[in-house]
């Protein structure tokens, strides 16, 4: 048994969710340890897409540009009939976060960049090939018993808090006795990952083949990869479908030959709709697939987990730095769960459109969607109500004074900083509490007294300065006007804590707020 080490936060699991948490906490200057069973990054792609909000989170830790270089911007989702003729096409909507609204990813490349990002932080230790056998909670810490999988040795560590990002079969969730309620769909799905050898028409487009005989997902992945997914029919044995002969038979139905792709691997899995009964158990928090599972139809499984830790990590730092009381951590599930449930519900409904097995209902679906798709209002409604929901919290760590801006993720336009450089908003204000205003300062003196910086948002043509940014394209000013807000207090995760219109007082900082929230250091 090795000597006991002490950490602020222990992260169990080193997938994209755990690695994002390690980057966030590392940048906040906390003493962190990551525990991972496997030695290497998982070789197969699992997550296939990301969105502008997640890219904005990765931007806060200085990795967005590196990650963008290995991604492929999406051109929407095309729902096609058995002949490959479009039924309806959904284009991603730009929500003003400063990044492409949809991008396809090759997950091993994303994992590598996120782990390289963690390597920047000397305050983050990574223990590969270690298994967390047991954890015991104490009043002021959590004791973790680890097994070194490379030798017959054990290691005991302590952490003030633990993030369990150890996947859908989370051992930590099981140790805590937390239920994982919901359902698992009985139908199994085959996923085929390939390396592109010779491109074909449509190789870079996402298509949902709404074929009652064999629904199929045809998905591009960057860096020369492509993926297909299809269900196992009732009369079929999945083992028979995992052979080269069967896989090539399915790909041939898509017009794909051995000249086009080389098969990297294939697997069979189930879709799940499940939510952990509790996301917090004392000093332990569940995140990502350990907290929730959803079908893959709108590509939000990994994204939801990244959003989880973006919500949780700044709160952990605030508590550990005594900026906010421990009770603020109870708002983690309060804020995240409704959004995750909404995303999951939308994923299920999109799946229902794709996998309709009744030929008559499928033909009716095709007619209805083709007719309705001629009207822009319908496709807009479909995108807004069946794809990604708004980034908004209705309850949680929010000052409820009735202003419409409260709880929304503030947009991220390009602005002029104090040097006159063109930068994204978060590069000026991201990762800390800040007050943004368009007018007088008096209504938010309580925030100034608490040590929170205030920046005036000047209109296009204005002069930037130490306490003033210029809204280059007028997008931030327009958003504030649309929400009837002249002053907003923005949390470190970019969500509006409080807002008010001209002449009204801005609600004060949260109860127990004692010090400004600042990063320890910025890392490129």
Q: CATH no. for residue 111?
A: 3.50.50.60
DSSP-based three-state secondary structure for 405: coil
Distance CA 482, CA 460 (A): 17
Does residue 243 sit in helix, strand or coil? coil
- Domain-terminating residue out of 284, 316, 349: 349
Residue 502 placed within a domain:
yes
Same-domain status, 29 and 151: yes
199 in a domain, yes or no?
no
Going residue by residue through the chain, which has 524 residues, state the pLDDT in tens, using 9 for 90 and above: 555 789 999 999 999 999 999 999 999 999 999 999 999 998 776 889 999 999 999 999 999 999 999 999 888 899 999 999 999 998 888 899 999 999 999 999 999 999 999 999 999 999 999 999 999 999 999 999 999 999 989 999 999 999 999 999 999 999 999 999 999 988 899 999 999 999 999 899 999 999 999 999 999 999 999 999 999 988 888 888 889 899 999 899 889 999 999 999 888 999 999 999 999 999 999 999 999 999 999 899 999 999 999 999 999 999 999 999 999 999 999 999 999 999 999 999 999 999 999 999 999 999 999 999 999 899 888 887 778 889 999 999 999 899 999 999 999 999 999 999 999 999 999 789 999 999 866 678 899 889 899 999 999 888 999 999 999 999 999 999 999 999 999 999 999 999 999 888 999 999 999 865 554 444 44
Q: Are residues 342 and 409 in the same domain?
A: no
Q: Are 15 and 164 in contact (CB under 8 A)?
A: no
3-class DSSP state of 246: helix
Question: Residue 263 corresponds to which tokens in the numbers above?
Answer: 């098969």
Examine the domain organization and report whether 27 and 125 are in the same domain. yes
| Segment holding 478, helix H or strand E | helix 475-482
244 in a structural domain? no
Judgement on whether residues 325 and 472 belong to the same structural domain of the protein: no
CATH number of the domain enclosing 459: 3.40.30.120
Asked if residue 435 belongs to a domain, the reply is yes
Domain termination site, one of 349, 377, 411: 349
The number of domains in the chain is 2
339 and 479 share one domain: no
Tell me if 370 is assigned to some domain: no
Report the C-alpha gap between 375 and 491 in whole angstroms: 39
Q: What's the CA gap between 145 and 136, in Å, rounded?
A: 8
157 domain-assigned: yes
Q: Are residues 324 and 413 in the same domain?
A: no
Residue 414, φ and ψ in degrees, nearest 5 = -80, 135
Q: Measured between alpha carbons, how far is residue 76 from residues 48, 79, 167, 214 in Å?
A: 14, 10, 28, 22
Question: Are residues 343 and 484 located together in one domain of the fold?
Answer: no
- Same-domain check for residues 343 and 469: no
Residues 149 and 296 in one domain: yes
Residue 507 and residue 406 in one domain: yes
Last residue of a domain, one of 349, 379, 408: 349
Domain that holds residue 47: 2-71+103-178+276-349
Is the domain of 8 the same as that of 141? Answer: yes
In a domain, 374, yes or no: no
Q: Indicate if 307 and 432 belong to the same structural domain.
A: no
Tell me the pTM: 0.95
Q: Is residue 314, in this structure, part of any structural domain at all?
A: yes
């Amino acid at each position: 048994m090795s000597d006991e080490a002490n950490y602020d936060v222990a992260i169990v699991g080193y997938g994209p969710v755990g690695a994002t948490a390690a980057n966030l906490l590392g940048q906040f200057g906390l003493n962190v340890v990551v525990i991972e069973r496997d030695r290497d990054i998982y070789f197969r792609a699992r997550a296939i897409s990301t969105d502008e909000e997640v890219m904005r989170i990765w931007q806060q830790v200085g990795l967005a540009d590196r990650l963008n270089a290995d991604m492929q911007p999406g051109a929407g989702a095309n729902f096609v009939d058995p002949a490959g003729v479009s039924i309806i096409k959904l284009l991603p909507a730009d929500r003003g976060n400063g990044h492409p609204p949809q991008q396809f990813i090759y997950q091993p490349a994303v994992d590598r960049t996120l782990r390289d990002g963690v390597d920047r932080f000397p305050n983050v230790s990574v223990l590969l090939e270690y298994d967390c056998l047991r954890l015991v909670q104490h009043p002021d810490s959590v004791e973790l018993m680890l097994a070194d999988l490379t030798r017959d040795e054990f290691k005991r560590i302590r952490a003030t808090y633990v993030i369990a990002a150890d996947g859908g079969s989370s051992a930590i969730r099981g140790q805590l006795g937390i239920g994982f309620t919901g359902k698992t769909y009985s139908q199994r799905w085959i996923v085929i990952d390939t390396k592109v050898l010779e491109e074909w028409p449509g190789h870079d487009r996402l298509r949902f083949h709404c074929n009652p005989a064999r629904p199929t997902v045809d998905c591009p992945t960057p860096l020369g990869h492509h993926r297909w997914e299809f269900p196992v029919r009732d009369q079929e044995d999945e083992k028979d479908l995992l052979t080269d002969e069967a896989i090539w038979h399915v790909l041939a139905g898509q017009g794909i030959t051995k000249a086009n792709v080389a098969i990297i691997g294939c697997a069979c899995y189930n879709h799940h709709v499940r939510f952990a009964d509790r996301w917090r158990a004392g000093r332990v928090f569940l995140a990502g697939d350990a907290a929730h599972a959803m079908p893959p139809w709108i590509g939000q499984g990994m994204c939801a987990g990244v959003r989880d830790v973006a919500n949780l990590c700044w709160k952990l730092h605030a508590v550990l730095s005594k900026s906010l009381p421990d009770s603020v951590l109870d708002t983690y599930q309060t804020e995240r769960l409704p959004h995750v449930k909404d995303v999951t519900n939308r994923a299920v409904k999109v799946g229902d459109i794709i996998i309709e097995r009744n030929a008559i209902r499928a033909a009716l679906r095709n007619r209805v969607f083709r007719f309705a798709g001629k009207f822009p209002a319908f496709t807009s409604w479909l995108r807004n109500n069946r794809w990604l929901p708004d980034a908004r919290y209705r309850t949680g760590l929010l000052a409820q004074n009735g202003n419409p801006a409260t709880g929304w993720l503030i947009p991220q336009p390009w602005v002029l900083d104090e040097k006159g450089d063109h930068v994204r908003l978060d590069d000026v204000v991201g990762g800390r509490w800040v007050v943004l205003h368009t007018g007088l300062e008096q209504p938010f003196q309580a925030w100034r007294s608490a040590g929170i910086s205030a920046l005036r948002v000047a209109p296009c043509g204005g002069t930037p300065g130490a306490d003033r940014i210029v809204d280059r394209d007028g997008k931030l000013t327009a958003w504030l006007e649309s929400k009837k807000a002249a002053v907003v207090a923005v949390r470190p995760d970019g969500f509006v804590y409080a807002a008010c219109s001209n002449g009204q007082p801005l609600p004060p900082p949260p109860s127990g707020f004692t010090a400004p929230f600042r990063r320890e250091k910025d890392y490129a």
